[in-house]
Amino acid sequence: MLSIELESLHKRRLILLAISTIIVGLSWASSLFSKDIIPIFDQDGWKITKTYSDGMVVAMKPIPGSSLRGMQVSRIVKIQPGKISEVIMNINRYREFISNSKYLIDARQVSSDSTGVVGYHYMKVPIISDRHCFFQLNTRTSLGHPDTTRIEWVLIPETPQLAKYEHNDPSIHSKPVYMDYGAGSWICVPCGNNNYKITYRVYLNLGGSVPAFIVDLGQRAGVIGFFRDVIREAQKR
């Protein structure tokens, strides 16, 4: 009985680790966001669940019509928004600084124009099926708040035009699950003395049949991990 419980715990940890890798830096016109994703961009309704010694604050928010919740991580730092944007927009370098990069098999930019870039991620996931996705990513200043920088991403549908950029590995025998329902937003707000409040908000549906509580736990680990990775990388620049 003990060996069965330990095996189950080990599998759960592997799934959480894999999910935490999926939930990494992944706007576009707000019309692309469905009504139940838009609430993560609102400031209201977030409930603080934990505060860390380094000043990082974690909050969660129910999303109407979904068993999953949105997550928010924030911290005040002395880092210029341009450096944060530089790290996040350079999709081709994600695997160089992300802590769990061994699960992020493919991360690259596939196209760009004056409105932003389109990126691709392929995640090798233990226990459950692999995941992959295309996403649109851009950066802008907030209307009415020229000192506030926003960096936003949204998952986009798989199309024949995009399919040619998908990861192709002969050793992969199972078809990965395509994720097309999720969005996130980085917000950098000045708060005096060269300090900026950096906030990252995420809502992501992994697709398939992963239990909501597993996604919720994995999301916490993934968002916190990626947030710290980005801050650490930006501090080097």
pLDDT in tens, 173-189: 678 889 888 889 999 99
List, in sequence order, every beta strand (DSSP E) within 81-143. Answer: 104-113, 116-123, 131-142
* Better pLDDT: 170 or 191: 191
- Which region among 121-125, 134-138, 172-176, 209-213 has the lowest average model confidence (pLDDT)? 209-213
pLDDT at position 69 over 50: yes
Rounded-to-10 torsion of CA 155, 218, 38, 137: -40
- Measure the CA–CA gap between 131 and 124, rounded to whole angstroms: 7
- Candidates 54, 11, 3, 1; CA nearest to 211 is 11
- Measure the CA–CA gap between 122 and 120, rounded to whole angstroms: 7
pLDDT at position 8 over 70: no
Instruction: Specify the amino acid at residue 204.
Output: L
- Paired residues of 137 in beta bridges: 117, 153
In this structure, what are the phi and psi dihedrals at residue 52, rounded to the nearest 5 degrees? -100, 165
CB 27 within 8 A of CB 138: yes
pLDDT at position 33 over 80: no
- Paired residues of 133 in beta bridges: 121
What are the residue ranges of helices labelled H in the chain? 2-22, 81-89, 94-97, 160-163, 212-235
pLDDT at position 46 over 90: yes
CB 61 within 8 A of CB 46: yes
CA-atom Rg of the chain in angstroms: 18
Residues in the chain: 237
pLDDT at position 24 over 60: no
Residue 113: predicted pLDDT:
86
pLDDT at position 202 over 80: yes
* Better pLDDT: 192 or 219: 192
Residue 32: predicted pLDDT:
41
